[in-house]
Amino acid sequence: MPPTTESSAGGAGHAKAHDDDDGDHTVGMPETAHQISTDSWFQVGFVLTTGINSAYVLGYSGTIMVPLGWVGGVVGLFLATAISLYANTLVAKLHELGGKRHIRYRDLAGHIYGRKAYVSTWAFQYVNLFMINTGFIILAGQALKAVYRLFRDDSVMKLPYFIAIAGLVCALFAIGVPHLSALRIWLAFSTFFSLVYIVIAFALSFKDGLQMPPRDYTIPGSGPGKVFQTIGAAANLVFAFNTGMLPEIQATVRQPVVGNMMKALYFQFTAGVLPMYAVTFVGYWAYGSSTSSYLLNSVNGPVWVKAVANISAFLQTVIALHIFASPMYEYMDTEFGNIKGGALSLHNLSFRIMVRGGYLAVNTFVAALLPFLGDFMSLTGALSTFPLTFILANHMYLMARGPKMGCIQKAWHWLNVILFGCMSVAAAISAARLIAVDSKTYSVFADL
């Protein structure tokens, strides 16, 4: 990494973790090949909202509400919203800790804990984003297959083929859009596509709910299987609201970076969550425990309307994946690319074709190999979202601000660390079991 990054990763100890930077706005700026401090809080708010209202929302009726039921699902979503907002604000407030801007999650962890934490945090984050991106490609493939099935009732084209097509389109988009700030107009398209599939899914589900006989809302399963499903759904809850890359997104916002990021987070967790709530609750109300893990497979309506919804879900997924892949792109561009060259220079363009294309090829292969979307959501929440968003956020804040805290506040943060640590272990066991069961039920490269 560049010298400034290495310094923050390896040279910081606990003494620096306690630095008080609240009154010093002259901060060091790390070297990066991507743009930083160029975006308004409103644009950053839309980046966050794009993630929370991605096509993943079409699965929450089946992957969260069905295993938890009305009480557990509704209470769980509201609690997850509040807890996620709190945890994200903790990370946002540490962005300029010790007189340096920490534009990468690993930089912040390295500044507080040292080199080993820098490396381990990068590993956690890589796993988190890799699995999220794999899930996005599965989603995009499912959306394309749904369009195909609307017009052709055969099995000539199978899900792995559509996943391969989706991966190719995602790679082309990644090559053409050099960095996170360059999304700009694409965020408007993303918002439009999100509204299209959410409004259509909401309207058709509501219509079906009015016309259908009483539904069964009994939580499926029994014994240990039911317990594991509940734990997996809890992991899906935290997955729904968190990116695992907040410092990377905060790096793009203009000064004052903490104040503007707080505005973006409040936008995400107020106006931004309403569409997700609406489609999740109405979808479960309409179909009960038989709700599909991809809501558009459950709805009834005109073929052309369902086709528009699925095409919109596919296109929005392409844009959303680019957001969650950007930390990996930034690392590769900064470490191996030409920082001083233009984004469309021959060297940087060919570099993106080779490196980003290769990265997404691996993502696409894994997505086609194991296309179990709900299981990926659970495993991602367990292995990386819990540690990055809740465990690490609380402990880093405790290390950085500990001397100013009272006993009660310290106890509160330690309680969060221990509680979410236990939940992470339980959710990982549950997700591994679900994948093992599904792997026995379905073959690799399954046509789900």
**Residue from 182, 186, 148 nearest 165 by CA:** 148
More confident residue, 225 or 12: 225
Nearest to 190 by CA among 48, 307, 59, 61: 48
**How high is the pLDDT of residue 22?**
43
Pick from 269, 264, 335: nearest CA to 95: 264
State the Cα–Cα distance between residues 313 and 139, nearest whole angstrom.
8
Its pTM surpasses 0.75: yes
Q: Does the pLDDT value for residue 10 go beyond 70?
A: no
> Looking at this protein, which amino acid is placed at residue 257?
V
Q: pLDDT value at position 67?
A: 92
Burial of 15 (0-12, 13-18, 19+ CB in 10 A): exposed
- Residue 223: what pLDDT? 76
Tell how far CA 116 is from the center of its chain: 25
Could you give the CA distance from residue 417 to residue 31 in angstroms, rounded to a whole number?
A: 32
Which among 281, 75, 303 is positioned nearest to 198, based on CA atoms?
281
Q: What confidence score (pLDDT) does residue 241 get?
A: 83
| 100: its two tokens | 């340096």
The confidence band for 20, taking pLDDT boundaries of 50, 70 and 90, is very low
Percent helix, strand, coil in the chain, to 5, is: 75, 0, 20
* 335 has a pLDDT exceeding 90: no
Q: What is the mean pLDDT of residues 293-318?
A: 94
How confident is residue 15, by pLDDT bands cut at 50, 70 and 90? very low
Segments of 61-135 assigned E as strands: none
Q: What phi and psi, each to the nearest 5 degrees, are found at residue 92?
A: -60, -35
| Residue 156 clears pLDDT 90, i.e. is over it | no
Mean pLDDT of 177-194: 86
What are the structural domains of the chain? 41-441 (1.20.1740.10)
Q: What is the pLDDT of residue 16?
A: 45
What lies within 8 Å, CB to CB, of 249 at 6+ separation is 44, 47, 48, 180, 243, 323
| Cβ density class 81-116: b for 16+ within 10 Å, e for less | bebbbebbbbbbbbbbbbebbbbbbbbbbbbbbbee
pLDDT band at 30 (very low <50, low <70, confident <90, very high): low
Mean pLDDT of the chain: 84
Mean pLDDT, to the nearest integer, of 171-187?
Answer: 85
What is the pLDDT averaged over residues 136-161? Answer: 90
Q: Which two tokens stand for residue 74?
A: 């509704």
**pLDDT > 90? residue 417:** yes
Q: In this predicted structure, which of 89-103, 150-164, 239-253, 300-314 has the lowest mean pLDDT?
A: 239-253
Which string of DSSP letters, residue by residue, matches 343-398? TTSHHHHHHHHHHHHHHHHHHHHHHHH---HHHHHHHHIIIIIIIIIIIHHHHHHH
